[in-house]
Amino acid sequence: MSNKTLFSAYTTGYGYGLWVSDGTLGGTYNINRLTGSSFTAVGSGKLVFTAGTGSIGQELWVTNGTTAGTYLVKDIDPGPASSSPIDLTPLGNGQVLFDAIDGTGRELWVTDGTAAGTHQVEDINPGSNSSFAQWIAVLSPGTAVFAADDGTHGTELWVTDGTAGNTHMVKDVYPGSTGSNPYGITSLGNGKAVFRGYGTGTGAELFVTDGTASGTYLVDDIRPGVYGSSPRYFTAIGNGKALFSASTPTTGRELWVTDGTNAGTYSLNLNSGPESSNPRNLTAIGNGKALLQAYNPTHHNYELWVSDGTSGGTQPLGAYVPGIEFGPVIAGLGNGKAVFGGHDSHGYELWVTDGTAAGTYMLDDINPGAASSNPYDLTAIGNGQAMFRASDGVHGNELWITNGTLAGTYMVDDIVPGSGSSFPRDFGAIVPCYCPGTLILTAFGEVPVEKLVIGDRLVVRSGLTRAIKWIGRRSYHGRFALGRKDILPVCIKAGALGDQSPRRDLWISPHHAMYFEGLNPGGVLIEAKDLVNSISIVQAERPETVEYFHVELDTHDVIVAEGAFSESFIDDDSRGMFHNAHEYYALHPEPVSEPARYCAPRLSEGLEVETARQQIAMRAGLSLAANPQPAENLRGFVDEVNVHCIAGWAQNIDHPEAPVCLDIVAGGRVIGQTLANVYREDLELAGLGSGRHSFVFVPSSTDVFSPGEVEVRRSADHALLALSHMAGAATAA
């Protein structure tokens, strides 16, 4: 698809559909009513992607950017069931590798964009079991390595050329059934790839492979012992090198470089003191360089850096980019430049950098003045360009393009005319994109719910394991769900129910019940909708899509989701709500009709429900009378104060993993509340528990105040957070 990009966009009366653009108004148009994602080049001007319809589910499609040239490649899991292709990766020979389920297990597949050329490569974990092929990385055109579990050796490194005969395990790096669990496999571009893995006698450390057993080995035991340096964020920068982050007791988490050899692997140590720089959001920009964010302990914030893998070529650019960790807001243009979202007196706008301080500046004030255009989904599309969505304050959130110059930055098309928004998304970059879902505890560790298959054994509340009988799926367009409290998902924020419960934000359906122990001899079940308090447990209002997976065992039980106790599905005459209900009846053609039997009382009111609500409110700091707290047990700082963003961290020393509810006060008036429960790696590495203690509050555009009159206080007792040095200097100025 020369000079064209696929994306999804919304239009009134039509909903989301598939669009194509060449960056011009005339070349931007709707193809059909599909909503696609994971667009990946397959050669000959074509892209393969995933899309779903009610009749065939989520399957593999192909397009050349025309309506006639957009069609289903193959219904891998026939009928309304979904094969759900993920990790689409170009093999470099006109083929694409991916992971999919054909009704049995999830395995490695290959496609050339035709039905005849789309087939399972190998049934690595035979039968109905799944190998979960992932982290696919191309060593050379036609050869790739990936991680997979054959059911015997655990998850290990495999190699393939897209044929069954040449697909095999490279090496049993960690002998036995545990597996080395290769993670973040990244090609160096010279026939080798680096990855994180577990070796015998080591923790998670840096490995290299060339696709052979002899060429697969530990590069460096950076942190000797069982804990390991846990390398992450591998980013190839060219010349056979990659940047990554790794942690040691003496330096903390710092920036490292490797060429796949021990001698060529060393720390760039951005912060010379004891505090970690915690590098993140590494993005290659071409010319052997990458951008990254690194923590500045003096300023107590993250700053933009550039690195070419040498000490002399690793320098701060001095630009603070708030909120960059929350979304894909950096796009390398491939010519030594990158565009990103930056924040100054003009609001959150589009910035550009060439890797120098002088060449880092706001590119365009798209929404003029202090208002923000909020550039989002910045996606490199080749030819030194990137597409994104933004609002200029007149046309709503629409499709924009940039080449890193002011003249080359403009709105491509006002898809929904006037102030309405099309919310373009899922741009067809040549980079696969997969967002893992809720982590469910199985006999072999945590697995994203969408990767579970019938027969997988889940850990239940008793500590035993039980097999999955069926998995139900249902999805709705956001417009259908709008205003429907019975459909809109509920978010139970990290730590809302207890210490590390859940460990991450847990999104569930409103009628999905959580288990509470100790409220009666056998515990009780309470639906999520009955726990909403608008602070630590909230219900979504305007999601673009709503998708649910429900897991059913032989009988109703409590499973572990994101570390929290949550119920399994039970058929209370509601099975028909699932879009794949026919699959159940095919598996069980003569189901026995029995009354629903819950594993614990299911309550919507009464003393037990009120007790649970009160406990949750106390953890969120919402009840002063029931939870008196001394002011001295609060620690934290306000790190940033301006009219666009108020951010910092807070921790209750007596209950270190409990989220802290905070009032944001301006001029003596409470303008909002927020919860300090967002993960920040520097806090964890500083010894502050799980690190889930930061907050970011974005004031409403109607809130008018000066930074100097802002206070942040604990809601429960009005104990104040102090300003950090940097924030104090900023407000004084």
Q: What is the DSSP string of 31-72?
A: EES--EEEEEEEETTEEEEEEEETTTEEEEEEESSSSTT-EE
Quote the Cα angle for 546-551-556, to 5°.
130
Collapse the DSSP code of 457 into the 3-class scheme (helix H, G, I; strand E, B; otherwise coil) and give the result: strand
Cis-peptide into 489, omega within 30 deg? no
Q: Percent helix, strand, coil in the chain (nearest 5)?
A: 10, 45, 50
CB atoms within 10 A of CB 645: 17
User: What's the pLDDT score for residue 607?
Assistant: 64
Residues of the chain where predicted confidence (pLDDT) is lower than 70:
1-4, 10-16, 32-37, 43-45, 52-54, 273-274, 319-329, 383, 425-437, 475-484, 518-521, 542-546, 572-579, 582, 589-596, 605-607, 621-632, 701, 725-733
The whole-number pLDDT of residue 274 equals 66
For the stretch 104-127, pLDDT in tens is 788 999 999 899 999 999 999 998
Q: What is the DSSP letter of 530?
A: G
Pairing status of strand 722-723 against strand 634-641: parallel
Buried b (16+ CB within 10 A) or exposed e, 101-119: bbebbbbbbbbbbeeebbe
Say how many C-beta atoms besides its own lie within 10 A of residue 48's C-beta: 26
pLDDT for 54: 63
Among 53, 89, 86, 83, residue whose Cα is nearest residue 70:
53
The conformational region for residue 358 under phi > 0 = left, psi -120 to 50 = alpha, else beta, is alpha
End-to-end CA distance of the chain: 52
SS3 586: helix
Residue 684, CA distances (Å) to 165, 173, 253, 345, 479 in order: 46, 30, 11, 31, 39
Output the CA–CA distances (angstroms, integers) from residue 624 to 650, 655, 719, in the order listed. Answer: 17, 15, 12
Q: Report pLDDT for 476.
A: 60
Residue 278, classified by CB atoms within 10 Å of its CB into exposed (0-12), middle (13-18) or buried (19+), is: buried
